[in-house]
Structure 1
Amino acid sequence: RRNAGEPRGAARYDEARKAMRAGRPADAELGLRAIVKSNPELGGPHANLGLLLRQAGRLPEAVAELEAAVHANPQQAVYFNQLGIAYRQQGEFAKAREAYERAIDLDATYASPLLNLGILHDLYLGEGSRALALYDRYLALSPGGDAQVAKWVADLKNRKPPPVTVSRKEQP
């Protein structure tokens, strides 16, 4: 009954994913919830439910489902990338960084977590030099290029460091 290859279970999963693509989130959510209830050990339904919930702005629920997905399948880089996005949207930047780094560790050729980690370092952590290195790695994996990210790289390279303000006098 818990076999992932079960035809009825696979058909339910396909129907839920079709509902997601067709813009019927309520139907998709019902289907995915039924699947995760009957097959909690499967990562895919948890991940898709997490994505659906994140898109609906239901971040705590989305994080819980994405955490269940990475627990069910800790070798799936895509799940860690999606979890990183949810963490970042919740303002949990350290957890987002860890999730993106785990995705990159699992698949060094997966460009999305490189870009997402670069954005995190650039906009949220204020670490431009780290962001620049990540953007460069992302662009190296993007054969068609990415004009927007190329602009970000140029901006970072031209950005002046903030002026240093002295709040204390040094002792001679």
Structure 2
Amino acid sequence: MARTDLHTDFVTRTATLGVVLIMAAFLYACGSQPVSQSGTDKPAADLRVDSSVQEKFDSAIVALNAGDFDLAISLLNEVIAAEKRIAAPYVNLGMAYARKGNNKQAEEYLRKAVDLDSGNPVANNELGMLYRKMGQFDNARHAYEKALASHADYLPAIKNLGILCDIYLHDTSCALKQYEQYLEYVPDDKTVSIWVADIKRRVGQ
């Protein structure tokens, strides 16, 4: 059965997905599965964002969810021109360029996001998927592991690291560990359960 990366979405549902960037402003493009509440490298109280900049960011989120990546990119560039301290607009720019197939610019903005917030799980997960598509498997593994180092229950990175280890690195021990950890959070995922059984069959367990 084919393995498919667990992508992240351009959404701002912090109550459900729980990746808080700063207090009452600028939210991550959160993962597509629930994660626990977590802070970031920068103290929330130290950052304040102008309301007009926040409105542009919110409009960019709407454009991203509608698939209008060109408009979103334009709006996010305006956001960054006014506010360079926060990772979220860089994350979303990287994701937008990745969806457009522009790997070079996607990497550029995702790396900028990581420079601002080294443990950002969304940025690192997106970098991992990007590097995997580019055939840079060791870099992909590093990015996933960096996401999990500070957000151990971030499901997209757990699953994607498992897929990377299984299909591309042929590291069955790593793959099995990630899949089984994923199933601790999502025990009813029959597809991942099949992957676990397949690995155990291959290694003779």
On whether the aligned pair clears a TM of 0.5, the verdict is: yes
User: Which shifted more, 58-67 or 80-89?
Assistant: 80-89
Q: TM-score under structure 2 normalisation?
A: 0.73
Distance 2:142 2:203 in 1: 28
Q: Is 1:147 matched with 2:190?
A: yes
Structure 1 residues 7 and 66 mapped into 2: Cα distance closer, same or farther (>3 Å)? same
Distance 2:166 2:203 in 1: 14
User: Which shifted more, 62-71 or 149-158?
Assistant: 149-158
Distance 1:82 1:128 in 2: 23
Match of 2:158 among 105, 110, 114: 114
- Asked if the contact 1:4/1:42 (under 8 Å) is kept, the reply is no
Structure 1 residues 37 and 90 mapped into 2: Cα distance closer, same or farther (>3 Å)? farther
Distance 1:89 1:71 in 2: 22
More helix by share: 1
Letter in structure 2 aligned against 1:148: T
Q: Which digits, 9 at most, give the CA deviation of each residue in 1:40-75, with x for residues without a partner?
A: 322100000101111111111101110001111123
Letter in structure 2 aligned against 1:61: Q
Task: Count matched residues.
Answer: 158
Question: 1:39, CA displacement in angstroms?
Answer: 2.2
- Asked if the contact 2:119/2:149 (under 8 Å) is kept, the reply is no
Distance 2:190 2:74 in 1: 39
Q: Which digits, 9 at most, give the CA deviation of each residue in 1:109-146, with x for residues without a partner?
A: 11211111110100110111220111001111225x21
| Residue number in structure 2 paired with 1:168 | none
Q: Which has the higher contact order (CA 8 A, sep 6+)?
A: 2
Q: Is 1:71 matched with 2:118?
A: no
Distance 1:140 1:83 in 2: 25
Root-mean-square deviation (CA, aligned residues, Å) is 1.6
* Secondary structure class of the residue paired with 1:75: coil
Letter in structure 2 aligned against 1:102: K
Question: 1:4, CA displacement in angstroms?
Answer: 4.4
Match of 2:200 among 136, 144, 157: 157
Q: Is 1:14 matched with 2:58?
A: yes
| Residue number in structure 1 paired with 2:168 | 124
Q: TM-score under structure 1 normalisation?
A: 0.86
Structure 1 residues 77 and 33 mapped into 2: Cα distance closer, same or farther (>3 Å)? same
Match of 1:82 among 111, 126, 132: 126
* Secondary structure class of the residue paired with 1:159: helix
Letter in structure 2 aligned against 1:159: R
Share of identical aligned residues, percent?
Answer: 35
- Asked if the contact 1:87/1:95 (under 8 Å) is kept, the reply is yes
Q: Is 1:105 matched with 2:105?
A: no
